[in-house]
């Protein structure tokens, strides 16, 4: 009988090629102009097990920015800095059913706090909770945390993507001013956005992302080094948000088709995991109507069905 790992080794390259063409049904994000340079037909995936061994297939050398995937880890850092009560006095725990950058419900639904930490308004509020005396210090702590989780000391943010988003992020600016007016943001709007835009622009590859997923898969302990990095309770909170809102308004469909906690970003990255077994990092820059990697979601469906990974 072949083991699951052997099946992954033999089938993953074939599954990547089988799903790659799905990119034609999507588009590379262009609202942050710098992101539009990504290769639309790229597709790469890394699966990492508890020993740090990997199965890789496709364009895994591609570097991309974390974008919204970073929100999972800034949430965790904010929880570690402030505890649950403070964090959940500023953001809620529910999916919105609106686009990730919408301000609709902020005004319509009392008490006017962002519905959850994975939409832009919520993530901006969370960024303002990261401890530090200046935006530089707060971002340095975020980057340090990401480096610890990836075991990659060379991780940096991409200056061009940061500049591009900072120059065009008018909607995020308006969300931040709204939050400031409501007393939800700590500090100055531009300082908070500097931290937010920078953590969205942290550049990595599929292996880095798989390692971050692996830490979540093992409830906060890096299984390769044995070092505890995140309290289990905060991993539980993060994985719950990933399941309920990690794939934007397609989170329900993703739960049915794939059945794993996951978080996507507009650069086409997806981080997911098989609890207790694997961390998975994937990239496919062409996005479907809901803002998730078109080919990436199809590839994860193929993998999850074949290997019976759904948690439900
Ligand atoms: O704020 C933005 O629009 C981007 N930096 C991140 C958006 C993203 O990946 C989608 N978010 N849920």
In ligand 1, the atom with minimum distance to the C-alpha of 31 is 3
Q: CATH for 3-66+204-307?
A: 3.40.710.10
pLDDT tens by residue, the chain, 312 residues: 579 999 999 999 999 999 999 999 999 999 999 999 999 999 999 999 999 999 999 999 999 999 999 999 999 999 999 999 999 999 999 888 778 888 778 877 777 899 999 999 999 999 999 999 999 999 999 999 999 999 999 999 999 999 999 999 999 999 999 999 999 998 899 999 999 999 999 999 999 999 999 999 999 999 999 999 999 999 999 999 999 999 999 999 999 999 999 999 999 999 999 999 999 999 999 999 999 999 999 999 999 999 999 999
187 to each of 26, 131, 134, 163, 180, how far by Cα in Å?
38, 11, 9, 21, 9
Cα gap 285→42, rounded to integer Å:
7
Does the CB atom of residue 116 touch ligand 1 within 6 A?
A: no
Distance from the CA of 32 to the center of ligand 1, in angstroms? Answer: 9
10 is in an annotated binding site: no
Q: Residue 94 in 3-state DSSP?
A: coil
Can you name the CATH fold of 68-202?
A: Beta-lactamase (3.40.710)
Distance from the CA of 101 to the center of ligand 1, in angstroms? Answer: 7
Which of 46, 192, 266, 283 is the catalytic position?
Answer: 266
Domains 3-66+204-307 and 68-202 share a fold: yes
The model's pTM is: 0.97
Which of 11, 71, 105, 203 is the catalytic position?
Answer: 71
- Show me where the domains of the chain are located: 3-66+204-307, 68-202
89 is catalytic: no
189 is catalytic: no
Cα gap 69→23, rounded to integer Å:
20
Picking from 75, 118, 115, 78, the residue whose alpha carbon sits closest to that of residue 93 is 115
278 is catalytic: no
């Amino acid at each position: 009988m072949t083991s699951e790992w052997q099946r992954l080794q033999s089938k993953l390259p074939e599954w990547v090629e089988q799903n790659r063409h799905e990119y034609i049904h999507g588009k590379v994000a262009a609202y942050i102009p710098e992101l539009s340079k990504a290769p639309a037909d790229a597709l790469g995936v890394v699966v990492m097990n508890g020993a740090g061994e990997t199965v890789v297939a496709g364009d895994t050398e591609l570097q991309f920015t974390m974008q919204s995937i970073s929100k999972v880890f800034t949430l965790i850092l904010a929880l570690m800095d402030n505890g649950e009560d403070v964090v959940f006095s500023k953001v809620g725990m529910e999916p919105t059913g609106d686009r990730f950058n919408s301000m609709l419900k902020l005004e319509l639904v009392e008490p006017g706090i962002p519905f959850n930490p994975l939409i832009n308004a919520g993530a901006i509020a969370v960024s303002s909770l990261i401890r530090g005396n200046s935006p530089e210090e707060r971002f340095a702590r975020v980057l340090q945390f990401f480096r610890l989780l990836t075991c990659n000391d060379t991780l940096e943010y991409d200056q061009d993507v940061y500049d591009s988003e900072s120059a065009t992020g008018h909607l995020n600016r308006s969300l931040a001013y709204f939050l400031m007016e409501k007393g939800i943001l700590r500090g100055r709007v531009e300082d908070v956005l500097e931290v937010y835009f920078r953590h969205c622009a942290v550049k990595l590859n599929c292996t880095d992302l798989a390692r971050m997923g692996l830490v979540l898969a093992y409830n906060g302990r890096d299984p390769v080094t044995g070092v505890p990095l995140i309290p289990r309770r905060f991993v539980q909170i993060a994985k719950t948000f990933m399941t309920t809102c990690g794939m934007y308004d397609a989170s329900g469909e993703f739960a049915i088709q794939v059945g794993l906690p996951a978080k996507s970003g507009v650069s086409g990255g997806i981080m997911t995991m098989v609890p207790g077994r694997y961390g998975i990092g994937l990239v496919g820059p062409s996005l479907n109507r809901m803002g998730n990697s078109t080919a990436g979601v199809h590839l994860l469906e193929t993998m999850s069905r074949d290997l019976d990974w759904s948690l439900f």
